[in-house]
């Protein structure tokens, strides 16, 4: 074993021990939620601002494999779902996807490999998945936690199916013209930003956002980030939960200041599902995003997920206070919440995202199409034009 390997194992071991310690104090309630929202967790059933749609056809679909009962989908000869011919859906710009990640000593992922995709969430469980978001289930959350424990040593098998080639094949079935791939840079020995850049080389319809960890922000970090922003699209992914840093942390604030000064769009994960440890949830409280938005008026930020399961209302409220700077992306939200976003936000600042491979493209698209069944005139803007203008891409 060479010295670099020994040093890494020592560092990884210390990191795992630190995470375990944070878990203990987080669950004990000892971590302060500095700047966090004072609003309590709202039960999912109470988060719906409007009534769940009564459409019997949409309500009776309980599995992804049944989506061909909706007018926009059909099954091909191999039984795979796809957009139906003549569905009339404009080309989609998906601003929120990921490719599989391997970290530390984990095996690299072949981004050109084709295989059946093993999604994180199972949509063949009988559920009213169009109108209610149940994922992650306790079993899914436990499986992810088990995989994460060993991520620095072993790449999970399902991560190896989250390849650029698999994403592109799925895009073709659902008329996705472009997909933005978002890296998540963890604090130690992270490789996902580089993997995402390599994945983007597989197909010119793939766009890689940059990723960097803000910890100990410096001129060197500015140079590193600038070196990855040479393309037409200039964007950065920030994930407060997996990066263990709130958006109001001094280092994160310096990173956002740099992004504002250099016209770099930031797509930030907001909110949480409720399955994360308490201290990790605190990093993603939507109220904490108010600090950089107020401090840097030129900052452009996309609120990914619009608060996820547990902070939908609070995230929408923060966005509305900073509507000139914030775009909303609603991946993971069910039909009633998507309708709420459309009805209560600037329609020119709503963009579409799927969060593949957590969600199959079919599920995310079906939710949006059901949500806009009575407002079909908005589909061109939300599925394509708003993102094209934000990212400097050609209009369809």
Confidence (pTM): 0.86
Q: Which residues pair with 21 in a beta bridge?
A: none
Within a domain: residue 26? no
pLDDT above 90 coverage of the chain, percent: 74
What's the number of domains the chain is made of?
1
Within a domain: residue 17? no
* Predicted local confidence at residue 186, as pLDDT: 86
Within a domain: residue 32? no
Determine the structural domain holding residue 106 and report its residue range. Answer: 44-391
Is the confidence at residue 18, as pLDDT, over 50? no
For residues 42-50, average pLDDT = 39
Indicate the pLDDT class of residue 265, thresholds 50, 70 and 90.
very high
Q: How far apart are the C-alpha atoms of 297 and 288, rounded to whole Å?
A: 16
Give residue-wise pLDDT tens across range 332-367.
999 999 999 999 999 999 999 999 999 999 999 999
Within a domain: residue 369? yes
- CATH code (residue 141): 3.20.20.140
* Predicted local confidence at residue 59, as pLDDT: 61
* Predicted local confidence at residue 16, as pLDDT: 40
Per DSSP, helices labelled H in the chain are 3-27, 44-47, 56-59, 138-149, 164-173, 192-200, 219-227, 250-261, 278-283, 290-295, 312-321, 335-344, 361-371, 379-380, 386-391
Give residue-wise pLDDT tens across range 74-105.
999 889 999 999 999 999 999 999 999 988 88
Q: Cis (ω within 30 of 0) for the bond into 357?
A: yes
* Predicted local confidence at residue 239, as pLDDT: 97
């Amino acid at each position: 074993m060479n010295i670099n390997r020994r040093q890494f194992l020592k560092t990884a071991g210390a990191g795992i021990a630190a995470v375990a310690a944070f878990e203990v104090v987080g669950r004990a309630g000892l971590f302060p939620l500095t700047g966090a929202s004072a609003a309590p967790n709202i039960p999912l059933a109470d988060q719906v601002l409007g009534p769940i749609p009564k459409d019997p056809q949409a309500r009776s679909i309980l599995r992804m494999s049944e989506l061909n009962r909706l007018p926009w989908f059909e099954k091909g000869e191999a039984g795979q779902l796809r957009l139906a011919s003549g569905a009339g859906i404009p080309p989609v710009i998906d601003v929120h996807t990921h490719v599989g990640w391997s970290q530390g000593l984990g095996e690299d992922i072949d981004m050109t490999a084709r295989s059946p995709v093993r999604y994180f969430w199972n949509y063949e469980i009988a559920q009213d998945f169009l109108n209610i978001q149940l994922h992650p289930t306790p079993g899914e959350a436990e499986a992810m936690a088990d995989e994460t424990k060993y991520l620095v040593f072993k790449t999970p098998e399902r991560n190896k199916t989250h390849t650029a080639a698999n994403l592109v094949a799925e895009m073709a079935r659902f008329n996705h013209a472009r997909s933005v791939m978002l890296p998540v840079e963890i604090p130690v020995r992270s490789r996902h930003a580089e993997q995402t850049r390599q994945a983007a080389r597989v197909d010119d319809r793939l766009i890689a956002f940059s990723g960097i960890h803000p910890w100990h922000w410096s001129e060197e970090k500015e140079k590193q980030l600038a070196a990855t922003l040479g393309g037409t699209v200039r964007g950065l992914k920030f994930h407060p939960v997996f990066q263990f840093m709130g958006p109001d942390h001094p280092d994160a604030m310096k990173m956002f200041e740099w992004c504002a000064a250099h016209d770099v769009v930031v797509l930030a994960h907001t909110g949480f599902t409720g399955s994360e440890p308490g201290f990790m949830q605190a990093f993603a409280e939507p109220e904490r995003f108010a600090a950089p938005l107020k401090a840097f008026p030129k900052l452009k930020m996309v609120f990914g997920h619009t608060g996820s399961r547990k902070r939908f209302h609070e995230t929408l409220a923060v966005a509305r206070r900073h509507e000139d700077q914030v775009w909303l992306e609603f991946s993971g939200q069910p039909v009633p919440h998507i309708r709420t976003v459309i009805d209560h936000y600037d329609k020119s600042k709503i963009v579409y995202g799927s969060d593949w491979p957590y969600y199959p493209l079919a599920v995310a698209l079906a939710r949006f199409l059901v949500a806009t069944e009575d407002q079909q005139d908005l589909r061109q803007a939300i599925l394509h034009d708003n993102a094209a203008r934000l990212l400097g891409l050609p209009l369809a």
